[in-house]
Structure 1
Amino acid sequence: MPVEQRLCSYSAVLMGSPIVLKLAEPDERLAGDVFRLIRQQENLFTVNRAGSQVMSINEAAGKHPVAVSAPVFALIERAREVSVLPGSCFNFAIGPLVKRWKIGFKGDSVPPAHELQALLALTDPARVELDAQQRTVFLPLAGMEIDLGAIAKGYIADVVKTFLRQRGCFCGLINLGGNLQTLDAPAGEASWAIGLQKPFGEPGALVGTIAVSNKSLVTSGVYERYFELNGQRYHHILNPQTGYPLDNELLGVTVISDSSLDGDIFTTLLYGLGVEKGLAFLADYPQIEAIFVTRAQQVVLATQQPFRLLDETYYVTDSIA
């Protein structure tokens, strides 16, 4: 999500994504501290690094509970809570399916149906056992794996926001490759102008921009990681009920919220619901706003933040046609 204003910019590749930090004033020391903080947090939650607490949980599946730190336990507890909601498309126990598809990680084939069915039996989030007193996590079946990839970036973005404010930095933004957390807008500006990527467009092509300040924006779309086979596109947003990519009218969802962690959760929930059910769902969560982009070139606004359309092949509405 590109940003129009030009400030002091620092970048690094972390969590498998380019990370960009923008500050009102040059501060290489602060930028370095932010990147070190992100790396430390990543080491707690990744499933791809030896020694991470999440990897230790997965390696102990079917064997024994694993004690974890307070932040890791709290995030797993939140992920489980959302995963067991009736009909939820958020599932932190979906690790075996993600690992088998490998979409975005050189995966370019459709797994046999019988393999997906076998893996579905290992993805029931209600089976994950949490002991708050001992702060342990136990996966009772060998082969079970939790995956916090759908929630960790949001948590880390919120940690960075708090860290920046503690260091006296109140103007800036951090982009964690899809999770963007803003602080105050630059001097003389009322807000940040954040660009929303055009699905399957050229790099830098935007559907429009949204004006925000001290808000998180999280976008999830089918155009981020996918492969095509025999004329069909397979994207990385999996349906935990079927094991296959979710198939509805959406190309992407952007959630605007105070917390980037909430943004991570609601992008997945809303994508799974689709536009009509998603709009109804949001009625119970006034603190969450969203923008839906559909295959029919609609930009459905469920937000009070000013939006500017830049691509005339799309049209703006506040309801599904």
Structure 2
Amino acid sequence: MSPDDRVYAYSAVLMGSPILLKLLEHNQPVAAGVFRLIKQQENLLTVNRPDSEVMAINHAAGEHPVVVSQPVFELIARAREISLLEGSCFNFTIGPLVKCWKIGFHGNRVPPAAEIARLLTLTDPRQVILDRQARSVFLPVKGMEIDLGAIAKGDIADRVRDFLRQQQITDALINLGGNVQTLGGMPGSANWGIGLKKPFAGPDDLIGVIGISGKSVVTSGIYERYFELAGQRYHHILNPETGFPLDNELLSVTVISPQSIDGDIFTTLLYGMGVEKGLACLATTPEIEAVFVTKQRQVICSSQRQFNFTLLDSSYQLGRNQLSAGRML
């Protein structure tokens, strides 16, 4: 019997994405509990349901604060904190711009510069008023919208991991459409193997495989949602300063971390920084590691303390982490 024969897979479509759960035992009640938990969290956080707590906040913009549940308040507080970091490309008030571009939602148009400039005035995270004692959130300007899409999947993945631990599950993998969280490893191995997708290629085409155990893997890339117009490619990772897609040397950033929510946060932060500044940032955060894939087909890994990487595609080359090389001298 091969190791794969001892892995039981359960799937569902939630949050607009295929969700995959892998267990090393047949346990339908646990799988049902996982999908129920994901659905509950989706109902609280999504902007695609008019009755979600996040949509209640958006609908009340410019009118009154909205009291939310403690988990939602804490997630919004975390998103605001990260959005206010100096130079941060993470912005949880970017909702109006996301809706304007409609990238990945049959938009395929470049909004006029005047429209972008007007919407930028509605995307200042400093304006969001949080009252911890009342557990309320207030958007003071009509038209403001918060969007937790850049952080919600990570939060949910961590909650699923905690649920699995409560059920005495020691080895498992949950894939929330790009956010992967693991416990233990596969049969006969200390690790789970997570594929690093080849940009702008088929769904099964991989650059390589990341081996991890008990860690999260989150990837953000310009190939995930984009459109092309007049020979120009427009992707979904927006620059909160300009309102247009970020443009640098990167195709994707993959973050390896203990918490999936940190993976969500750091994929956005590191993509905005680029390779050199990103590696410098990672040198001060040893619990976070990353794999950068550049437009020059270079794959640059950070220190690899928490993962190993195997290159599979010969059209890509392993680049040199200059910071790590410098420390070795």
* Letter paired with 1:258: P
Could you say which residue in structure 2 is the equivalent of 1:241?
Answer: 241
Within 5 Å, which residues of 2 pair with 1:83-102?
A: 83-102=83-102
Structure 1's unaligned 5+ residue stretches are none
Aligned residues: percent identity? 66
8 Å contact kept, 1:291–1:303: no
**1:79 and 1:262 mapped to 2: Cα distance?**
11
* Letter paired with 1:110: V
* Letter paired with 1:60: A
Question: 1:313 aligned to 306, 315, 329, which one?
Answer: 315
Could you say which residue in structure 2 is the equivalent of 1:177?
Answer: 177
Within 5 Å, which residues of 2 pair with 1:140-219?
A: 140-219=140-219
Aligned-partner SS, 2:119? helix
**2:246 and 2:282 mapped to 1: Cα distance?**
20
Could you say which residue in structure 2 is the equivalent of 1:134?
Answer: 134
8 Å contact kept, 1:251–1:294: yes
**Per-residue CA distance 1:95-154 (angstroms, 9 max, x = gap):** 000010010111110000000000000000000000001000000000000000000000
Aligned-partner SS, 2:145? coil
Say what the alpha-carbon RMSD is for the aligned residues.
1.2
**2:12 and 2:76 mapped to 1: Cα distance?**
27
Could you say which residue in structure 2 is the equivalent of 1:20?
Answer: 20
**1:259 and 1:275 mapped to 2: Cα distance?**
22
* Letter paired with 2:117: Q
Measured after TM superposition, the shift of residue 214 of structure 1 is 0.2
**1:263 and 1:163 mapped to 2: Cα distance?**
19
Measured after TM superposition, the shift of residue 5 of structure 1 is 4.3
Could you say which residue in structure 2 is the equivalent of 1:51?
Answer: 51
**1:193 and 1:82 mapped to 2: Cα distance?**
30
Could you say which residue in structure 1 is the equivalent of 2:270?
Answer: 270
**2:27 and 2:190 mapped to 1: Cα distance?**
23
Could you say which residue in structure 1 is the equivalent of 2:327?
Answer: none
**1:17 and 1:203 mapped to 2: Cα distance?**
14
**Per-residue CA distance 1:235-290 (angstroms, 9 max, x = gap):** 00000000000000000000000000000000000000000111111111110000
Could you say which residue in structure 2 is the equivalent of 1:32?
Answer: 32
Measured after TM superposition, the shift of residue 187 of structure 1 is 3.1
**1:256 and 1:43 mapped to 2: Cα distance?**
27
**1:238 and 1:207 mapped to 2: Cα distance?**
25
**Per-residue CA distance 1:281-312 (angstroms, 9 max, x = gap):** 11111100000000000000014121110000
* Letter paired with 2:163: F
With over 3 angstroms needed to count, the CA separation of the structure-2 counterparts of 1:76 and 1:255, relative to structure 1, is: same
**2:312 and 2:152 mapped to 1: Cα distance?**
31
* Letter paired with 1:146: I
* Letter paired with 1:256: I
TM-score (norm 2): 0.95
**2:186 and 2:203 mapped to 1: Cα distance?**
25
Identify the range of structure 1 (40-49 vs 299-308) with the bigger mean alpha-carbon deviation: 299-308
Structure 2's unaligned 5+ residue stretches are 323-329
Measured after TM superposition, the shift of residue 188 of structure 1 is 1.8
* Letter paired with 2:311: L
**2:74 and 2:82 mapped to 1: Cα distance?**
13
With over 3 angstroms needed to count, the CA separation of the structure-2 counterparts of 1:235 and 1:62, relative to structure 1, is: same
* Letter paired with 1:70: Q
Measured after TM superposition, the shift of residue 48 of structure 1 is 1.2
For these two proteins, the number of residue pairs brought into alignment is 318
